[in-house]
Amino acid sequence: MNLATLVKMANQIGAFFEAMPDREQAIKDIANHLRRTWDPRMRTQLIAILGTPAEQELKPVVRDALRELGGA
């Protein structure tokens, strides 16, 4: 899948959970959502941008969720 599309989708998920008052719970919920509903290839492709300049396109809460999934 197109990386820009994955980033956009992940950021939309992040925007939903970002409204939660407990940031740590939001990070866990994003990670769980990605684990349960995204194809492993999609997760792998998105996690691969961690540590690259492209990671700046991700919301910070999404970046932290990806790290929780095992990206860092």
First-to-last C-alpha distance (Å) of the chain: 22
Q: Distance between CA atoms of 44 and 16, rounded to whole angstroms? A: 22
List for the chain the helix, strand, coil content (%; round to 5). Answer: 80, 0, 20
Question: Residue 71 pLDDT > 70, yes or no?
Answer: no
What's the domain range around 59? 3-71
What DSSP character marks residue 1? Answer: -
pTM, two decimal places:
0.91
| pLDDT mean across residues, the chain | 94
Average pLDDT estimate for 25-46: 96
Q: Distance between CA atoms of 37 and 70, rounded to whole angstroms? A: 16
* pLDDT tens-place string over residues 13-35: 999 999 999 999 999 999 999 99
Domains in the chain, number: 1
